[in-house]
Amino acid sequence: MKRILFKFIVVSAMLLAILPVGAAGKTGTVNLNVVLKTDVTAEVLKVLKGHGTVLTVFEELDALTMKVRADKVSAIAALPFVESVGEDAERNGAPIDTVGLTDFSGGYGTWNLDVINVTNPGPNNRTVAYDGTGVYVAVLDTGLHDSWRKYFPQERIAVEYAASFGGGAGLAGTVSFQPNKWEHDQNGHGTHVTSTILGYNLRGTPINGVAPNVTIIPVKVLNQNGSGWSSVISMGITYIANLKKGVLKDYPVVINMSLGGSALDPIEKEAIDYAIEAGVIIVASAGNNGDRGMGYPGAYEPVISVAASGWIGEWYPGIGGSWWNSLNVSEPTSISQMYITEFSSRAKEGQDLDVAAPGSWIVGPYQVNSGNRTSFYFLGGTSMAAPHVAGIVALMAQKYPALTPLQAETILQDAAIPMEAGSRNVFQPNGTVKTITWGADATGHGLITADAALGLTP
């Protein structure tokens, strides 16, 4: 339920399970993602067109999408040049007056930034020596609001690289490029995620970010409802990988994906592997499915996955609505003050959960329509936890620009504060106290903090 300023919304980036390819009794047509063992040649395309319609070709990935009859899927999978097939998987997750500052590094600290040891409460209280300068972070999400220039400094958004991709199984299967749609989002998810990394303008008051001097590349891969398809996300990942291989070859590049679904799609896997091979560091949310398990791509081992943690100081009695930017988290960060949210996905067998970061009651800009008016909400979800880690990785990459994806993941795991199974009594907005409990499958390697990760970075 959406409410006015500073009321809680849990935004889930995860979706219900999809039917497996070739599911018994399935009829009609399906949108199929096909990964090849060879290049996409004219001969290969001729054979595949004999089984259905070829829609979009991913040259870099040796992959393509097709629309085929359900009874043709097995025959396509059996072709000698086909490596894997899968149905396109569902995924969730105008210039105006501008912000006067170029960054929010001197802005107010908030509880979540205090937890990860980036700031203390109050203005001009950054506690780390890095701010993300020289690092690009691609936010693959719903894009940005029309009013993004009221929230973020123009200098921090790489409009020259911003992009939007649409289509997928929901629109006849073809993946298309959609110029300028990235800055006309009506969902709000991508703007809120970006605000955690950069910071934001809260009606004239600068709020700090994890890495306020990074350069954000907005890539819209989810529609106005906050959902999309793995083929579209794969195109977005490939687009960023190609930037890293080309014009951004001399800069560290990080991807944040606060989105996911129930299974890893073949093309999505190829796109992630392609990007990681190019040197792109990928961070993704673990999912909001609780005991039902993690979502993908977060659960895929090479991706840095993030669970959602909270703080027992939330809604502390007598503080009112200002606790989020006025209460001081104990130093050093104490696990006894932290908990894992009930919605945060637990890792099942074969799933890889890396670290936890704040993902409960995170304040940021959030609108559900176009226009000049600004609004702000508390949002909760692993979607909110992931950009904390993407920002920390940007700080690490600023310190050590040669940082590789494997190094980043290893450092984060080693630097995390171990978090055992447990329970905490947590204040609620209505004044009650709720006991929240979690198991060892919910924490990964533990709670990550920026200072610890930077301490292990070369």
Where residue 61 sits, what CATH number does that domain have? 3.30.70.80
Cα–Cα distance for residue pair 210/220, rounded to 1 Å: 22
Same domain membership, residue 110 and residue 83: no
Do both 308 and 412 map to the same domain? yes
Are residue 197 and residue 126 in the same domain, yes or no? yes
Residue 21 maps to a domain: no
For the cut 60, the answer to whether the pLDDT of residue 53 exceeds it is yes
Res 411 pLDDT > 50: yes
| The pLDDT value given to residue 371 | 64
* Contact assessment for residue 265 and residue 30, using Cβ atoms and an 8 Å cutoff: no
Residue 201 lies in a domain: yes
Question: How far, in Å, CA of 161 to CA of 239, rounded?
Answer: 10
Residue 90 near residue 225 (C-beta atoms within 8 A): no
Same structural domain, 76 and 112: no
Pair 163, 199 in one domain? yes
> Which residue among 103, 145, 164, 189 is the active-site one?
189
pLDDT tens-digit series, residues 362-387? 999 998 666 667 889 999 999 999 99
Domain match, 57 and 112 both: no
> How do residues 62-84 score in pLDDT, each as one tens digit?
999 999 999 999 999 999 999 99
What is the pairing mode between strands 52-58 and 200-202? unpaired
Q: Confirm if 398 and 205 have CB atoms less than 8 A apart.
A: no
CA distance 193 to 456: 26
Q: What percent of the chain has pLDDT over 90?
A: 74
Reply yes or no on whether 383 is catalytic: yes
The pLDDT confidence band at residue 171, using thresholds 50, 70 and 90, is low
62, 103, 131, 141: the catalytic one is 141
The answer to whether residues 144 and 212 belong to one domain is yes
Residue 172's pLDDT is 56
| Nearest Cα residue to 258 out of 193, 347, 182, 185 | 193
* In the predicted structure, residue 15 carries a pLDDT above the cut 60: no
β-strand partners of 436: 424
The domain containing residue 328 runs over which residues?
A: 8-16+92-456
Q: What is the mean pLDDT of the chain?
A: 89
Question: Does the pLDDT value for residue 174 go beyond 90?
Answer: no
Tens digits of residue pLDDT in 82-122: 999 999 888 887 333 445 667 789 999 999 999 999 999 88
Q: Is residue 2 part of a domain?
A: no
Closest CA to 202 of 305, 307, 107, 301: 107
The reported pLDDT for the residue numbered 99 is 54
**Does residue 425 share a domain with residue 395?**
yes
Indicate left, alpha or beta for 361 from its phi (over 0: left) and psi (-120 to 50: alpha): left
Residues 85 and 265: their CA atoms lie apart, in Å, by 8
Predicted pLDDT of residue 22: 38
Residue 138 bridge partners (DSSP): 217, 255
Q: Are residues 65 and 98 in the same domain?
A: no
For residue 417, the cross-strand partners are 447
In this prediction, residue 65 carries a pLDDT of 93
Segment 52-68 shows an average pLDDT of: 93
What is the predicted pLDDT for the residue at 267? 94
Boundary-marking domain end, from 88, 104, 122: 88
Active site residue 326: no
Is the domain of 36 the same as that of 164?
no
In a domain, 24, yes or no: no
Domain co-membership, 52 together with 171? no
Range 258-285 average pLDDT: 96
- For 292, counting Cβ atoms within 10 Å of its Cβ (0-12 exposed, 13-18 middle, 19+ buried), the class is middle
In CATH, what number is assigned to the domain containing residue 284? Answer: 3.40.50.200
Q: Where are the alpha helices (DSSP H) in 214-340?
A: 230-245, 266-277, 323-326
Maximum Cα–Cα distance for the chain, whole Å? 72
11 neighbors 360 (Cβ within 8 angstroms): no
Is 269 inside a domain boundary?
Answer: yes
Quick one: which H or E segment has residue 433? strand 433-438
What pLDDT score was predicted for residue 415? 98
Per-residue pLDDT, 130: 98
Q: pLDDT tens for residues 177-233?
A: 888 899 999 899 999 999 999 999 999 999 999 999 999 999 999 988 888 899 999
- How many domains, in total, are found in the chain? 2
Q: How far is CA 359 from CA 29, 89, 155, 408, in A?
A: 39, 25, 27, 21
Cα 255-259-263 angle, rounded to 5 deg: 110
pTM attached to this predicted model: 0.88
82 and 120 in a common domain: no
For residue 33, the cross-strand partners are 65, 86
Is the confidence at residue 10, as pLDDT, over 60?
no
Cα separation of 65 and 51, whole Å?
12
For residue 148, being part of any structural domain is answered with yes
**Alpha-carbon torsion (351, 356, 361, 365), positive or negative:** negative
Catalytic residue of the set 383, 388, 441, 445: 383
